[in-house]
């Protein structure tokens, strides 16, 4: 007799989940071959927030926006935070960038030259200053650092420099601030990457202390890597700080989360829920980090938020008791069947109800399309320089 979870509890959980969207997801992006510009793209951080506010308006679960420094550099971060607050938003993780200055050609915090390292660390410390001004709690660190050729630099010396740089930044953190260390399999470095996998990030975070946690970017793994295993392991170790959600078929494709392998996203959501990752005290930050190179940006972010919700909803529907029973009895097919039953459920009606109970339109994409916002920004955002990666 299946003991399906109570719909009210599922709905309550879905209403409280927060999905943070990235400011750069609203700007232009592309590949090394071409950045295709889109009409209506923001020219500054304020316009990015205006777009993010639309995503929150129609989904109800995206009230927080990640910043990227220097792409989102402004004169007055307090004013930016106010601007956000007026639109029902708060400013989320601050993402540091130590990969676009000429000095960083051979590394930033791991560079052989101490002067370059000092410059990079100074930038990270400046990001914490910005956090103080914006009220952001998370400093998200992704380093492009690595080497392209065997012999180019000393792998272990680079780890030493990394550890030293991180320690200095860690010391600067306020009581309620975190350092989130992201790992990435490869790109832009093509031989070694200084933080290439979760183990490396975990080992550094462990030494830094409790305010240092790992970021799992779903696109940053070797082919075939079981991401949900890593998620479960890090939750067990209390070291999962955040997700950077996106999806990929090949490398770090940065497609919309759930677009390439929705079953994988569900399995990740299942481990999150089973291991307490949705509980507020765990403080797991569910962020998007994507590139909408060819698709319309705001609807793509909305669709991505919905994909995370759908995976979460399905995972919430897993009959945990039946699953445990099948697992205990060693019935492989029955245990798998319990999971698949949840996955095969069409949760779109449930989420439509959730939205209506929150006072929202049941179909966020349709609501956005009907809102006229896209037409307005295409008409109004003329001239100036569109936001992008500035690569």
Q: Which of residues 105-124 bind a second copy (CB under 8 A)?
A: 105-106, 112-113
Residue 24 touches a second copy, criterion: CB under 8 A: no
Neighbour-count burial for 330-347, b at 16+ CB within 10 Å, e otherwise: eeeeebeebbebbbebeb
- In this complex, which beta carbon is closest to a second copy, that of residue 46 or of residue 185? 185
Residue 200 touches a second copy, criterion: CB under 8 A: yes
Residues sharing a CB contact under 8 Å with residue 160, sequence separation 6 or more, in sequence order: none
- In this complex, which beta carbon is closest to a second copy, that of residue 134 or of residue 293? 293
Contact 360, 369 (CB under 8 A): no
- In this complex, which beta carbon is closest to a second copy, that of residue 79 or of residue 105? 105
Q: Which of 339, 350, 354, 387 binds a second copy (CB under 8 A)?
A: 339
- In this complex, which beta carbon is closest to a second copy, that of residue 117 or of residue 137? 117
Residue with tokens 């990001």: 127
CA pair distance 259, 307, nearest whole angstrom? 8
Peptide bond into 244 cis (omega under 30): no
Minimum CB separation of residue 231 from a second copy in Å reads 9
Per CB under 8 A, which of residues 38..97 are in contact with a second copy?
A: none
The closest of 43, 47, 63 to 55, measured between CA atoms, is 63
Per CB under 8 A, which of residues 282..321 are in contact with a second copy?
A: 293-296, 299-300, 303, 310
CA pair distance 334, 323, nearest whole angstrom? 8
Minimum CB separation of residue 176 from a second copy in Å reads 27
Beta 146-147 vs 192-193: how paired, if at all?
Answer: antiparallel
- In this complex, which beta carbon is closest to a second copy, that of residue 346 or of residue 380? 346
The closest of 257, 315, 304 to 13, measured between CA atoms, is 315
Residue 366 touches a second copy, criterion: CB under 8 A: no
The closest of 312, 307, 314 to 365, measured between CA atoms, is 307
Residues sharing a CB contact under 8 Å with residue 256, sequence separation 6 or more, in sequence order: 246, 247, 290, 292, 295, 300, 303, 304, 307
- In this complex, which beta carbon is closest to a second copy, that of residue 137 or of residue 267? 267
Is residue 146 helix, strand or coil?
strand
Q: Which listed range, 59-67, 129-137, 179-187, 371-379, lies at the site for a second copy (CB under 8 A)?
A: 179-187
Cα–chain center distance at 150: 31
Is residue 214 helix, strand or coil?
strand
Site size toward a second copy (CB under 8 A) is 107
Minimum CB separation of residue 326 from a second copy in Å reads 8
Q: Which listed range, 49-57, 62-70, 328-336, 352-360, lies at the site for a second copy (CB under 8 A)?
A: 328-336
Minimum CB separation of residue 105 from a second copy in Å reads 5
Residue 171 touches a second copy, criterion: CB under 8 A: no
Per CB under 8 A, which of residues 210..269 are in contact with a second copy?
A: 221-226, 228-230, 232-233, 235-237, 248-251, 253, 255-256, 259-264, 267
For 373, the enclosing helix (H) or strand (E) is: helix 373-380
Q: Which of 156, 176, 359, 380 binds a second copy (CB under 8 A)?
A: 156
- In this complex, which beta carbon is closest to a second copy, that of residue 90 or of residue 264? 264
DSSP string, 308-319: HHHHHHHHHTS-
Q: Which of 144, 352, 360, 367 binds a second copy (CB under 8 A)?
A: 144
- In this complex, which beta carbon is closest to a second copy, that of residue 93 or of residue 234? 234
Residue with tokens 């995206």: 62
Contact 104, 120 (CB under 8 A): yes
Cα–chain center distance at 370: 28
CA pair distance 204, 375, nearest whole angstrom? 47
Q: Which listed range, 29-37, 168-176, 279-287, 375-383, lies at the site for a second copy (CB under 8 A)?
A: 29-37
- In this complex, which beta carbon is closest to a second copy, that of residue 86 or of residue 295? 295
Q: Which listed range, 6-14, 48-56, 64-72, 193-201, lies at the site for a second copy (CB under 8 A)?
A: 193-201
Q: Which of 323, 350, 354, 387 binds a second copy (CB under 8 A)?
A: 323
Q: Which of 153, 182, 217, 289 binds a second copy (CB under 8 A)?
A: 153
Structure tokens at 3: 């003991």
């Amino acid at each position: 007799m299946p003991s399906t979870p109570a719909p009210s509890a599922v709905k309550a959980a879905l209403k409280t989940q927060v999905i943070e969207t990235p400011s750069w997801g609203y700007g232009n992006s592309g590949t090394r071959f071409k950045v295709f510009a889109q009409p209506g793209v923001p020219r500054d951080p304020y316009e990015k927030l205006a777009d993010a506010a639309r995503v929150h308006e129609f989904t109800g679960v995206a009230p927080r926006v990640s910043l990227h420094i220097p792409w989102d550099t402004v004169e007055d971060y307090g004013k930016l935070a106010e601007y956000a607050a007026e639109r029902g938003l708060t400013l989320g993780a601050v993402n540091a960038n130590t990969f676009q200055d000429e000095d960083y050609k051979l590394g930033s915090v791991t560079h052989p030259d101490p002067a370059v390292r000092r410059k990079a660390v100074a930038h990270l410390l400046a990001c914490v200053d910005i956090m103080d001004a914006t009220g952001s709690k998370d400093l998200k660190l992704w380093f492009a650092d690595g080497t392209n050729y065997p012999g180019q630099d000393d792998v272990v010396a680079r780890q030493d420099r990394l550890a030293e740089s991180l320690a200095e930044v860690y010391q600067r953190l306020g009581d309620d601030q975190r350092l989130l260390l992201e790992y990435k399999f490869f790109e832009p470095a093509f031989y070694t990457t200084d933080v290439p996998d979760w183990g490396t990030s975990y080992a550094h975070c462990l030494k830094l202390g409790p305010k240092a946690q790992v970021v799992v970017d779903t696109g940053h793994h070797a082919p075939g890597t079981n991401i949900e295993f890593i998620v479960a392991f890090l939750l067990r170790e209390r070291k999962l700080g955040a997700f950077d959600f996106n999806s990929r078929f090949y490398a770090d494709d940065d497609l919309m989360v759930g677009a390439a392998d929705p079953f994988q996203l569900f399995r990740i959501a299942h481990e999150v829920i089973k291991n307490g990752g949705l509980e507020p005290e765990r403080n797991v930050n569910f962020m998007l980090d994507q590139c909408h190179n060819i698709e319309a940006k705001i609807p793509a972010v909305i669709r991505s938020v919905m994909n995370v919700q759908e995976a979460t909803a399905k995972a919430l529907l897993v009959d945990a008791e039946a699953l445990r029973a099948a697992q205990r009895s060693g019935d492989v097919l029955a245990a798998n069947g319990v999971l698949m039953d949840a996955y095969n459920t069409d949760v779109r009606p449930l989420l439509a109800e959730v939205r209506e109970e929150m006072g929202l339109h049941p179909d966020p994409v349709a609501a956005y399309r009907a809102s006229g916002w896209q037409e307005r920004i295409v008409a109004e955002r003329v001239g100036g320089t569109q936001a992008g990666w500035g690569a």
